[in-house]
């Protein structure tokens, strides 16, 4: 059954201590971040999504980036094993949340590591980035869970950005959005639309032609509007300072059977 529920997680008071890999640290305004998070969740609700708050994980600075903790395929959840040890404490609350929604639950086990930000679904194709956070064992375990359900898993090397979805996401028609210089192997993607801004590579599909996009990507928003999409900009500047993007602040559950 189609469903429109989205998991979100309130920012930790320790947000400003979040991990950084590819950018320099800038001061994060935690109060502003909370306001931006409220506006982000409100934008989801305005477009028909029921937001479900996972119990906060205040000791984990990066816990607001809830996308990294679980991968959903239909009603099957795969609990991640974050590549960064400081993020491992984030998964417990998410496991409880998906189990209470009636999802069947699987886990990435040691020695596997996998971050949800490395997983992009386009129809029944699941692209998985093998990079700084997701290792080969994590890729194998993801395959073992989802291929029997009919998914085709395509592994993609990622070395230039934090996660695969830092570099690309997909439009509702499956066109991949991104910037070629950030990709190790752009030819793996069959239909590719280059975007003018780095943060323009990230869209959240809200349903129909509606796309949530960062306010920091106005030229991309214009390009997408010109192609017939309706764009919904949200300011997530404080999360961008921590290598976050619009996708990583929620997990959309589109096919629950309960």
Ligand X SMILES: NC(=O)NCCC[C@H](N)C(=O)O
Decide whether 11 or 18 has the Cβ nearer to ligand X. 18
Query: Is 81 an interacting residue with respect to ligand X (CB under 6 A)?
Result: no
Side-chain half-sphere exposure of 32, counting CA atoms within 13 A: 11
Choose the stretch contacting ligand X; rule: CB under 6 A; options: 51-59, 149-157, 182-190, 239-247. 239-247
Out of 130, 165, 241, 252, the residue judged to bind ligand X by CB under 6 A: 165
Mask of contacts with ligand X, 112-151, x by CB under 6 A? -----x----------------------------------
Choose the stretch contacting ligand X; rule: CB under 6 A; options: 90-98, 120-128, 181-189, 238-246. 238-246
Decide whether 9 or 165 has the Cβ nearer to ligand X. 165
Position closest to ligand X via CB = 117
CB 210 within 8 A of CB 47: yes
Q: How far is the CB of 165 from ligand X (least distance, A)?
A: 6
Q: How far is the CB of 163 from ligand X (least distance, A)?
A: 5
Choose the stretch contacting ligand X; rule: CB under 6 A; options: 17-25, 36-44, 69-77, 106-114. 17-25
Annotated active-site positions, please? 163, 248
Side-chain half-sphere exposure of 67, counting CA atoms within 13 A: 20
> Token match 């993609």: residue?
156
Contacts of 73 (CB under 8 A, 6+ apart): 121, 126, 145, 146, 149, 151
Query: Is 244 an interacting residue with respect to ligand X (CB under 6 A)?
Result: yes
- In DSSP notation, 16-40 reads GG---SSS------HHHHHHHHHHH
* Residues of span 31-70 touching ligand X by CB under 6 A: 62, 65, 67-68
CB 53 within 8 A of CB 45: no
Q: Please, what is the Cα angle at 195 between 169 and 240, to 5 degrees? A: 65
CA-nearest of 128, 58, 60, 118 to 88 is 60
Question: Which residues bind to ligand X, rule: CB under 6 A?
Answer: 18-19, 21, 62, 65, 67-68, 84, 87, 117, 162-163, 165-166, 242-245, 248
């Amino acid at each position: 059954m189609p469903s429109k529920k989205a998991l979100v997680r309130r920012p930790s008071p320790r947000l400003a201590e979040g991990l950084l890999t590819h950018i320099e640290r800038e001061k994060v305004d935690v109060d502003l971040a909370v306001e931006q998070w409220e506006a982000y969740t409100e934008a989801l609700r305005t477009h028909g999504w029921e937001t479900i708050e996972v119990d906060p994980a205040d000791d984990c600075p990066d816990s607001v980036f809830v996308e990294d903790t679980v991968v959903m395929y239909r009603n099957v959840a795969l609990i991640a094993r974050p590549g960064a040890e400081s993020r491992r404490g984030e998964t417990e609350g998410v496991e409880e949340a998906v189990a209470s929604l009636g999802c069947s639950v699987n886990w990435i086990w040691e020695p596997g590591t996998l971050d949800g930000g490395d997983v992009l679904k386009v129809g029944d194709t699941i692209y998985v980035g093998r990079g700084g956070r997701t290792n080969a064992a994590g890729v194998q375990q993801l395959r073992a869970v989802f291929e029997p359900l009919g998914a085709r898993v395509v592994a993609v090397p990622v070395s230039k950005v934090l996660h695969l979805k830092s570099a690309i996401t997909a439009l509702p028609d499956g066109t991949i959005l991104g910037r070629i210089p950030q990709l190790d192997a752009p030819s793996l993607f069959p239909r590719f639309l280059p975007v003018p801004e780095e943060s323009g590579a990230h869209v959240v599909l809200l349903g129909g032609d509606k796309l949530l996009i960062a306010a920091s990507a106005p030229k991309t928003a214009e390009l997408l509007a010109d192609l017939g999409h309706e764009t919904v900009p949200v300011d997530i500047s404080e999360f961008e300072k921590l290598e976050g993007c619009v996708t990583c602040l929620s997990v959309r559950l589109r096919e629950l059977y309960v």
